[in-house]
Amino acid sequence: NDWLGFMLARAYYQLLQPVRESLQSKGLRDIDYSILAVLSMGDGRTIAELAGIIAFAGQELTVDDAQRLAARGLVTLDPAKDRDVLVRFTDAGRECAIELLARAKAAESAAERDLAIVDRYQGVSGDERGTEALFHLLLGLALRHQILE
């Protein structure tokens, strides 16, 4: 199938597979990974802030999701900020996020190496490289989506 949407979804699934294996071994879910990943970009976010960011990935965050991570000792919940719950990492949560993000980065690096191999095989170099073209395509799609909203 050469439909771009299908190929992007398949690539996303393949890139996340190592992370999903780690999540499964830890008894965590995709939404847990999303929460930890967003907190790694800036610790101390409200449930509403987390929910807004995570919604871009098509996931819905509930207070129960955050409470589940708090029960596991990965985050703390502080209801002190404007009646919304503030979510922060614990040391264990930060370590877990670093481990998961490292797995994701390793999968990304492997995919980039694969693209570079294909580029070399096809004799492509410089501005025509597949990794750069793919990055610009994805960035353009993300920006277009953000502008249209």
pLDDT in tens, 24-68: 999 999 999 999 999 999 999 999 999 999 998 889 999 999 999
Alpha-carbon dihedral of residues 38, 85, 22, 130, nearest 10 degrees?
-10
The reported pTM is: 0.75
Q: Which amino acid is at 123?
A: G
Question: How many other C-beta atoms can be found within 10 angstroms of the C-beta atom of residue 74?
Answer: 25
pLDDT digits over 61-75, tens only? 999 999 999 999 999
